[in-house]
């Protein structure tokens, strides 16, 4: 009996020993293809002397050097020089080397030059989505250490319902998972400090390498790191296309909390939500939506307060644009603040101070008293406007005088000209 049990255990151990390596692919190296976007005649984005194809190559070479130092990986590049390749050729190359992952490296730019941050584009379908999502999150985790704004891991579909981006579509057609890393925006000052030297570009490449190593759970003796315990972000295998969010945020509501006329600031409360994809940026306009300030990062809340400075010469008519994760925005209700002075009170007073030092103390005390009045004068007009205040009346009087003088000048000019004509007629 004992012999039988021993024999059974021996056979079991024998099979377990030889079967395990097959299931965990311990001996099979991971194969990664790095694709520096664009090349040759295809320059990619250009901004202030920066050319995307060159930046992509610098990042890719640094990524290659770093990633090659890990154990159990084979790294390839679609181009190592300024070569021009079609998207199909890049995907074909990846399929040819039996790649587990094709990583296309890029830098972003927006038509409006207003966006900033990092994003990763992936396939909307099946395992390509599942794997791409986990990889994209690993990449953005690395960029968090740098401090770029996290725009997310996203899908985009073309009119035909297939993946919009060619490299992702071509790779999927060849059974390869591909992801596009848009490191940051070349055309925004917020992101400039992440790419404006060769060393910084190389650093981005090393971050890409670390993200890849973590995603595959690799380790490196020479680098002294071990990511074998790394937990990937797991998302469900989608049964149909994971569609992008093309609709604007569902809620975008603006309220005025405080209006400080002396310091020319407004404290505003914004409530916005997007049920599909979440919020990303917001921007305010003080001229009713004609011009907007720089986009701000969306804080971790549906409702929050923020302070806006009102420059001299502006009577605020506030509107907010709130953007979702897919850069689609909703515009808030408008708020007009009546009686906001065109020039700050402190500046008006500094003129008085230069005239007489002794009067300055008086102005200071009266200012304190008047502050309460000024604050009470603040009226939020969402429907009906109320009585204009004194500064507005003065403005109207000045306008009236100007128009009156212009009218008189026109009459004088006209009578002078008709007089001259009559003179000429008499001569003939």
Residues that bind Zn ion (CB under 5 A): 37, 44, 106
CB of 270 to Zn ion, least distance (A): 33
Q: In this complex, which beta carbon is closest to Zn ion, that of residue 148 or of residue 285?
A: 148
Q: In this complex, which beta carbon is closest to Zn ion, that of residue 106 or of residue 151?
A: 106
Q: In this complex, which beta carbon is closest to Zn ion, that of residue 106 or of residue 264?
A: 106
Q: Write a three-state SS string for the chain.
A: CHHHHHHHHHHHHHHHHHHHHHHHCCCCCEEEEEEECCECCECCCEECCEEHHHHHHHHHHHHHHHHCCCCCEEEEECCCCCCCCCHHHHHHHHHHCCCCEEEEEEEECCCCCCCCCEEEEECCCHHHHHHHHHHHHHHHHHHHHHCCCEEEEECCECCCCCECCHHHHHHHHCCCCEEEEEEEECCCHHHHHHHCCHHHHHHHHHHHHHHHHHHHCCEECCCCEECCCCCCCCCCCCCCCCCCCCCCCCEEEEEEEEEECCCCEEEEEEEEECCCCCEEEEEEECECCCCCCCCEECCCCCEEEEEEECCCCCCCEEEEEEEECCCCEEECCCEEEECCCCCCHHHHHHHHHHHCHHHHHHHHHHHHHHHHHHHHHCEEECCCCCCCCHHHHHHHHHHHHHHHHHHHHHHHHHHHHHHHHHHHHHHC
Q: In this complex, which beta carbon is closest to Zn ion, that of residue 44 or of residue 117?
A: 44
CB of 36 to Zn ion, least distance (A): 10
CB of 248 to Zn ion, least distance (A): 26
CB of 44 to Zn ion, least distance (A): 4
Q: In this complex, which beta carbon is closest to Zn ion, that of residue 107 or of residue 284?
A: 107
CB of 148 to Zn ion, least distance (A): 16
CB of 239 to Zn ion, least distance (A): 31
Point out the residue whose Cβ comes nearest to Zn ion.
Answer: 106
Q: What is the greatest pairwise CA distance in the chain?
A: 146
* Rounded Cα distance, 366 and 349, in Å: 11
CB of 194 to Zn ion, least distance (A): 16
* Rounded Cα distance, 210 and 230, in Å: 11
The CA-based angle 144-67-163, given to 5 degrees, is 65
* Rounded Cα distance, 103 and 122, in Å: 10
Q: In this complex, which beta carbon is closest to Zn ion, that of residue 79 or of residue 106?
A: 106
CB of 221 to Zn ion, least distance (A): 35
Q: In this complex, which beta carbon is closest to Zn ion, that of residue 51 or of residue 308?
A: 51
CB of 117 to Zn ion, least distance (A): 15
Closest CA to 139 of 66, 225, 232: 232
Asked whether 113 and 188 are in contact (CB, 8 A), the reply is: yes
Q: In this complex, which beta carbon is closest to Zn ion, that of residue 53 or of residue 214?
A: 53
CB of 45 to Zn ion, least distance (A): 6
Q: In this complex, which beta carbon is closest to Zn ion, that of residue 46 or of residue 206?
A: 46
Q: In this complex, which beta carbon is closest to Zn ion, that of residue 194 or of residue 292?
A: 194
């Amino acid at each position: 009996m004992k012999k039988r049990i021993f024999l059974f255990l021996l056979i079991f151990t024998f099979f377990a020993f030889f079967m395990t390596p097959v299931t965990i692919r311990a001996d099979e190296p991971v194969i990664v293809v790095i694709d520096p976007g664009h090349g040759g005649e295809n320059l990619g984005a250009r901004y202030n002397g920066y050319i995307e194809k060159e930046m992509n190559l610098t990042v890719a070479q640094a990524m290659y050097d770093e990633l090659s130092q890990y154990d159990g990986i084979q790294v390839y590049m679609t181009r190592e020089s300024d070569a021009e390749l079609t998207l199909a050729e890049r995907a074909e190359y990846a399929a040819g080397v039996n790649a587990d992952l094709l990583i296309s490296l890029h830098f972003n730019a927006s038509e409006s030059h207003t966006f900033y941050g990092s994003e990763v584009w992936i396939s909307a379908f099946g395992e390509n989505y599942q794997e791409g999502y986990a990889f994209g999150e690993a990449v953005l985790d690395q960029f968090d250490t740098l401090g770029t704004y996290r725009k997310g891991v996203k899908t985009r579909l073309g009119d035909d319902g297939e993946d919009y981006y060619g490299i992702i579509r071509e790779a999927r057609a060849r059974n390869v998972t591909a992801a596009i890393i848009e490191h940051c925006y070349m055309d925004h000052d917020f992101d400039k400090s992440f790419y404006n030297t060769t060393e910084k570009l190389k650093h981005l490449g090393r971050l890409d390498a670390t993200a890849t190593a973590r995603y595959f759970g690799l380790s490196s003796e020479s680098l002294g790191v071990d990511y074998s315990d790394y937990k990937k972000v797991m998302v469900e295998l989608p049964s149909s296309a994971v569609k992008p969010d093309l609709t604007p945020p569902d809620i975008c509501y603006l309220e005025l909390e405080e209006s400080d006329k002396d310091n020319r600031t407004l404290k505003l409360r914004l409530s916005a939500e997007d049920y599909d994809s979440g919020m990303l940026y917001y921007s305010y306009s003080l001229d009713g939506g004609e011009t907007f300030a720089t986009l701000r990062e969306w804080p971790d809340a549906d409702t929050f307060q923020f302070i806006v400075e009102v420059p001299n010469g502006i009577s605020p008519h506030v509107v907010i644009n709130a953007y979702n994760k897919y850069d689609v925005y909703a515009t808030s209700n408008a708020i007009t603040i009546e009686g906001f002075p065109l020039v700050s009170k402190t500046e008006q007073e500094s003129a008085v101070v230069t005239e007489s030092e002794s009067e300055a103390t008086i102005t200071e005390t009266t200012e304190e008293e008047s502050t309460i009045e000024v604050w009470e004068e603040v009226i939020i007009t969402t429907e009906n406007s109320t009585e204009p205040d004194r500064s507005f009346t003065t403005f109207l009087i000045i306008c009236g005088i100007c128009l009156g003088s212009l009218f008189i000048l026109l009459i004088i000019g006209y009578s002078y000209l008709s007089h001259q004509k009559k003179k000429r007629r008499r001569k003939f």
